[in-house]
Amino acid sequence: MRNSWLKQLLLPLTLVATTATAAETQWRQLDVDNTLLMTLPHGQVVVELAPQFAPAHVKQFKQLVNDKFYQDSRFYRVIDGFVAQGGPEQEDKDAPTLKIEGEWTAPSDQPFTLVQQPDLFAEQTGFINGFAAAQDSKGQQRWLAHCHGVLAMARGNEPDTASSHFYFTNGQAPRYLDRIMTIFGRVVYGMEHIQAIQRTTVIEGDAEVDKARYTPIVNMALMANVPAEQQIIIEVEDTNSAAFKEKLVQRRTRPSAFFYQKPPQVLDVCQVPVNSRRIK
Amino acid sequence: MRNSWLKQLLLPLTLVATTATAAETQWRQLDVDNTLLMTLPHGQVVVELAPQFAPAHVKQFKQLVNDKFYQDSRFYRVIDGFVAQGGPEQEDKDAPTLKIEGEWTAPSDQPFTLVQQPDLFAEQTGFINGFAAAQDSKGQQRWLAHCHGVLAMARGNEPDTASSHFYFTNGQAPRYLDRIMTIFGRVVYGMEHIQAIQRTTVIEGDAEVDKARYTPIVNMALMANVPAEQQIIIEVEDTNSAAFKEKLVQRRTRPSAFFYQKPPQVLDVCQVPVNSRRIK
pLDDT at residue B92 in the model: 85
Residue type at B109 in one-letter notation: D
Interchain CB distance below 8 Å, A4 and B156: yes
Q: Are A237 and A48 in contact, with CB atoms under 8 Å apart?
A: no
d(CA A225, CA A22): 39
pLDDT at residue A278 in the model: 97
- When pLDDT is averaged across residues B226-244 and rounded to a whole number, the result is 98
Helix, strand, coil in percent for chain B, rounding step 5: 25, 30, 50
- A83 contacts in B (CB within 8 Å)? 6
pLDDT at residue A92 in the model: 85
CA distance A20 to chain B (A): 23
Interchain CB distance below 8 Å, A176 and B275: no
Residue B278 has pLDDT above 80, yes or no: yes
Q: Are B186 and B34 in contact, with CB atoms under 8 Å apart?
A: no
Interchain CB distance below 8 Å, B203 and A276: yes
pLDDT at residue A22 in the model: 54
CA torsion through residues A100, A106, A110, A116, sign:
positive
- A162 contacts in B (CB within 8 Å)? 2
Select the more confidently predicted residue: B17 or A3. A3
Using alpha carbons, list the distances in angstroms from residue B39 to A38, A134, A138, A182, B76: 31, 41, 52, 39, 16
- Preferred mutation among B44, B120, B125, B209 to probe A, highest tally of A CBs within 10 A: B120
CA distance A110 to chain B (A): 25
d(CA B96, CA B62): 13
Which residue among A5, A120, A203 sits closest to B154, beta carbon to beta carbon? A5
Which residue among B3, B172, B180 sits closest to A270, beta carbon to beta carbon? B172
- B87 contacts in A (CB within 8 Å)? 2
- Across chain B, what does the average pLDDT equal? 93
Interchain CB distance below 8 Å, B2 and A154: yes
Can you give the C-alpha Rg of chain A in angstroms? 20
pLDDT at residue A5 in the model: 45
Residue B44 has pLDDT above 80, yes or no: yes
Peptide bond into B118 cis (omega under 30): yes
CA distance B47 to chain A (A): 15
- When pLDDT is averaged across residues B6-32 and rounded to a whole number, the result is 60
ipTM above 0.85, yes or no: yes
pLDDT at residue A2 in the model: 45
Interchain CB distance below 8 Å, A195 and B266: no
Residue type at B239 in one-letter notation: T
Sheet with A83-87, edge to edge strand ranges: A74-79, A83-87, A166-169, A150-153, A182-189, A43-49, A35-40, A219-222
Query: Which band of pLDDT confidence, cut at 50, 70 and 90, is reported for residue B23?
Result: confident
Which residue among A1, A163, A259 sits closest to B180, beta carbon to beta carbon? A259
Q: Which residue of A has its CA nearest to B195?
A: A195
Using alpha carbons, list the distances in angstroms from residue B31 to A48, B95, B184, B233, B236: 46, 25, 15, 9, 11
Spatial neighbors of B234 by CB under 8 A, at least 6 apart, are B29, B30, B35, B46, B48, B188, B189, B276, B277, B278, B279
Residue B17 has pLDDT above 60, yes or no: no
d(CA B30, CA A217): 38
- A167 contacts in B (CB within 8 Å)? 6
Residue B78 has pLDDT above 90, yes or no: yes
In DSSP terms, A153 is beta-bridged to A166, A182
pLDDT at residue A94 in the model: 87
Q: Which residue of B has its CA nearest to A234?
A: B205
pLDDT at residue B8 in the model: 43
Which residue among B2, B203, B276 sits closest to A275, beta carbon to beta carbon? B203
Q: Which residues of chain A have pLDDT under 70?
A: 1-22
- Preferred mutation among A5, A143, A178 to probe B, highest tally of B CBs within 10 A: A5
Residue B20 has pLDDT above 50, yes or no: no
Q: What's the pTM value of the predicted model, to 2 decimals?
A: 0.93
Q: Which residue of A has its CA nearest to B165?
A: A2
